[in-house]
Structure 1
Amino acid sequence: MSKVQVFLSKALKVNLGQDEHGQQVNLDLPYGLQEVDPAVAEHWFVKAHSQEIPQSAIANQELQAEFDQLKADHTALQTQSDAATKKIAELEKQAKADAKTIAELNKQIADAAAPEKAK
Structure 2
Amino acid sequence: MAKKTQVEILVHTPFTFTDTKGEKVKFDAGRHNVDKDVAEHWFVVAHSNQTGGTSTSGSDEELQAQIDSLKTELDEKAKTIADLNEQIEAKDKANSVLSEQLEAAQKAVKEK
TM range (shorter): 0.3 to 0.5
Higher-RCO chain (CA-CA 8 Å, sequence separation at least 6): 2
Higher strand fraction (1 or 2): 2
Whichever of the two has the greater Rg, that structure is: 1
Question: What's the TM-score once normalised by structure 1's chain length?
Answer: 0.44
Larger fraction in helix = 1
